[in-house]
Structure 1
Amino acid sequence: MGSRRAPCVHTAGQGSEGTAIICRAAVAWTPDTPVSLEDVQVDPPKAGEVRIKILFSGLCGTDLHILEGRTKMPFPIILGHEGAGVVESVGEGVTTVKPGDHVLPLSVPQCRECRSCLHPKGNFCRKENIISPTGLMLDGTSRFTCKGKRVFNLYGTSTFSEYTVVSEIAVARVDKAAPLDRVCIMSCQVPTGFGAVVNTAKVTSGSTCVVIGLGGIGLAIVMACKASGAARIIGVDINEDKFPWARELGVTDVLNPGQLSRPVQEEIQEMTGGGADFAFEAVGLNDTMVATLESCDPSFGVAVLVGMAPSGQKLTFDPILMLPGRNLRGGAMGEYKTRDAIPQLVSAYLQGHVRTDPLITHRFPFQDIRRAFRLQQEGGCIRCVLRLGEGQEVKDEQGGSL
């Protein structure tokens, strides 16, 4: 028998359609260990898939939680799910995007066929890879190889790689006029925070809101509460370094639970005369979820859980809390139908109706990804955006070109 022919491989930047690409990616080999920049092989897209040249990616708190081992994932893995880039090639049968299109990969897909996608209110596509993540494509295989080992993907996206392969149902084509370094966070941070306010809670003008956790998602929630006309926004965090950012974005009152002599929910109940109209949890801990529920008015308050809790946890609270009429809600990606809504959000950004710039405080070249993770861990930023590829001129936090 003849010898098996090895697949053709190109390095990034060479003609590569239909072949594997060798490029840089940040590989997390094991939990609680810093990522390392490695040369990885990215296979060509199969039927129904899209290979994307990633130019920019935000670093989300969820990425940090996975790296710390709080959220269980298969390892080794390439993290990142707030990317923006350009379509490099497409697999057989792909019709909604083509090479050269500017796109955002989506951690919550929209297949437009399942029960959830077809429901007028549903957005959590049945083909999601979040609740029980496999780290694999829909066909059960991986497109990443490093040092002879299979590498898993994150939520079908893995944007901490100069090239990635994503299912067509998880790609949103956006206006080429949009600056990708600013709209990349519309893959997660902006829709998650804004949608929690406008779709899930439906915050009303003149209301009182509580936001527990003033990280990237929490501050997106703050911006949306202010835009919705909230009269009072109480921000809660144990890191007081975040308070100036929070006040600038709309927080009227700040609380540090570590400096209080009683539970923060009791403080909030007294401050608001019985509880807030709306309360949001953006930390991902059981205790803060219960505190969020107890912070809203017992008769008509709405509590929205946005943070992702550590794997395997059980939420426990006294069911009597629900009897008077509290409403406890959750929602992924702000309940937006992603492929339909994300391009609209990007258009709203271009029209000046949605701002993302205040949510991005730091910009780093890809080789500084460990520094970005440290900053996220220390709470020293709202959002870091990494530059992975050439394409659009951006400025770092000191104003110089990256």
Structure 2
Amino acid sequence: MNTHFIAIGGSAMHNLAIALKDKGYHVTGSDDAIFEPSKSRLEIKGILPQEMGWFPDKITPNIDAVILGMHAHQDNPELAKAKELGLKIYSYPEFLYEQSKNKTRVVIAGSHGKTTITSMILHVLNFHQKDVDFMVGAQLEGFDCMVKLTQDNDFMVLEGDEYLSSPIDLRSKFLLYQPNIALLSGIAWDHINVFKTFDDYIEQFRKFVASITPGGVLVYNEEDAEVVKVVDAAENYFRKIPYKTPEYEINNDQVYLKTEMGDIPLSIFGAHNLLNLEGARHICQQLGIMDESFYEAIMSFKGASKRLEKVEREDKGTLYKDFAHAPSKVKATVKAFKEQFKKEKTYGFLELHTYSSLNPIFLEQYDHAMDGLDEAIVFYSEDALKIKRMEPISPELIQEKFKNNHLKVFTKAEDLHAYWNTLDKATGAYLMMSSGNFGGLDLTK
């Protein structure tokens, strides 16, 4: 099968390209910029474009599938040529469904926790050598690629994202998967640039639940009031399995899960991660992994990339980085960090980096998000606001919206870095929350 990727360098897109190459497909692609690690990984597989840019001549009648990434624009010249030739154009999720429509599809959805839960499930399955197809949004220990597609596997585990499918398909990605087994971890308003109201955002999850195949299964977080409302209002037929935070305790900085089989030591921490673990356990049951086998495997799970991930520092200091940027994720991560490091002075750094987090209306959601930390710091770039064509935001507004008068606010990377250099990172515990890089801050030094 001949496939061509428009915007092949994206985090998700390049992994799908590699998976198709491994499956034996002929893969080509284009992009206007490709960064590491995508660049090296595509080059190793022999599918890195020889030059950057868009080349309509690459689009030929013998292409069986054009896969369009979100990074491309509606007026992309390769897209125009594909339309002109009448080629089949897929969004990323649409093509994944096409690859898995004859398999049992397991879709993990929710505003927060979906990457971690999907990672937990795959870790457990991999531990017990149960082979499945998958797509996950983070690099996992023991996995070479974030996407795996085969002819023979019976199951496909998919991380279900509510964001848009492609520039020409404005449906939420997870609405294209039609799950046989689904999980819903939580609902908290996100992607305000696309979903202008909370109800518009919730509507995507209503549609997701409605897309579960007849007689399917939904595992859901019964501690989330919005999730419960969506599940209770569903009119289609499926089996409902609720889950909640399991009992656990912390002894000498070690987290133990309380089970009927005794106390299980874990390599992760935080109530939200224990809640994620419980959701993963129920999904694994549906895949034939019983509790004893699940606990045996989950003990060695160290977390998904950039989800409370420990950074090894030269000074052996305690520092964790986390992808948290949405308010609900920040609050859960801060709570977990404070609970785990009660005896340490805690420093929390948050970079406001996304369109949503820099929107004055959405900032209301961050109220008290950084409370309880000994030192709380928020960084956002004034230059980034200009690039995104957004209105200026004052540090005073940030303090007001966070409802934290002790919050330190930096708007210039050089000022943040100067403050960072005054701190003795060998003492205390540091939590770095961002989908960016704090203006190029080196967290290892």
TM-score (norm 2): 0.30
Larger Rg: 2
| TM-score w.r.t. length of structure 1 | 0.33
Q: Which has the higher contact order (CA 8 A, sep 6+)?
A: 1
Task: Determine which structure has the larger helix proportion and give its number.
Answer: 2
